[in-house]
Structure 1
């Protein structure tokens, strides 16, 4: 029973670390974006260019006339930002787990628990991607899922900006099928 308790403690600790990393990343990403906008505005006013400045473009063609300049990602896209924050938090957690497992003299049970934790996070990542793909395949503009130990949150962008009962039922069905979680563990929200 002691091994199970230790494993659960490691999983809870990992979840707390992931949440803390996500919160810190969210905070610092917002501050950096605000500073970047100030620097860009100052550079535009003086007509200078910033060395190393880069922009991510959508790559979509606008009726064959070239890339849409308005589709440059500037950090205001909620879904891209949420996915990036989620991935960075997971990468940090996996890095910590790999360090714990790879330390010299680490007990075998610590290495096994770290390996299990990495597998859990990888499973979450795969299930979240599957949910996101299936929801967008149903005709929704965009979707991001956040999976935890016993719950999952799904944020969806709809054309109207609101979710109907039918929308919630579709998304709940997809999420229940992919995760095995009951409907009570699924939270669905419309992006504003």
Structure 2
């Protein structure tokens, strides 16, 4: 009986970890940090704005930038200057931003795979343990299937978004049913956000209002 209880605690702890991760992700999405170059955009709001603007000037709507990066404004100032030193600083700044973005996407994917592999190992051990109850094994198997399905969806969504011309993408599923899509791009227009959100919504089988698109550059 003691072994059985320990296994139940392990499963409950794992479920709690997933829920906590979802809460942290949700909180992170809502807070949004402008200091690291990320801008969180609700796809549902973008779609609502596009519907409201249908009767207006379409060219103006399509060209409207959803995200304004202070670094891009700084770049405009540098262009107006003819000082070679300022141009060098601009180049170094752009290079640094690109390296930061590369590190972000690489680390995000590594962390995602490490966490997923660890969870699968724990769940697999439970399903193969003869002392585990059938109910416990069933719960573990369902969680394993969910992890596998989410992994396949993430890969599919990332591939389809990259085909739109973006250099890198990372997709993260939340335990609350939300989906985060981070795209490597200096900025995103409302049309681009709508396209990305549509891909994520259809292939993740979630409501478009639960898709959050952001950029990192």
TM-score normalised by L of structure 1:
0.61
Q: Deviations over 1:116-165 (max 9, x none)?
A: 1000000000000011000000111110000123011000012xx11110
1:172 and 2:175 matched: no
Q: CA, structure 1 residues 123+11, in 2 after alignment: closer, same or farther (shift >3 Å)? A: farther
Distance change in 2, residues 1:143/1:171 (3 Å): same
Matched, 1:162 2:165: no
TM-score for the superposition, normalised by structure 2: 0.55
**Greater RCO between the two (CA within 8 Å, min separation 6)?**
2
Gaps of at least 5 residues in structure 1 are 1-8, 20-72
**Count of aligned pairs between the two proteins:** 131
| Rg larger for | 2
- Please give the root-mean-square deviation of Cα atoms over the aligned residues, in Å: 2.7
Are 2:179 and 1:152 aligned? yes
- Find 1:127's aligned residue among 150, 153, 156: 153
- Measured in 2, the distance between the counterparts of 1:172 and 1:94 equals 29
**Which one has the bigger helix percentage?**
2
Provide structure 2 residue ranges, at least 5 long, that are not aligned to the other structure.
1-11, 23-98
What is the Cα deviation at residue 12 of structure 1?
A: 3.7
CA contact (8 A) 1:124 1:147 kept: yes
In 1, Cα distance between the equivalents of 2:200 and 2:15?
23
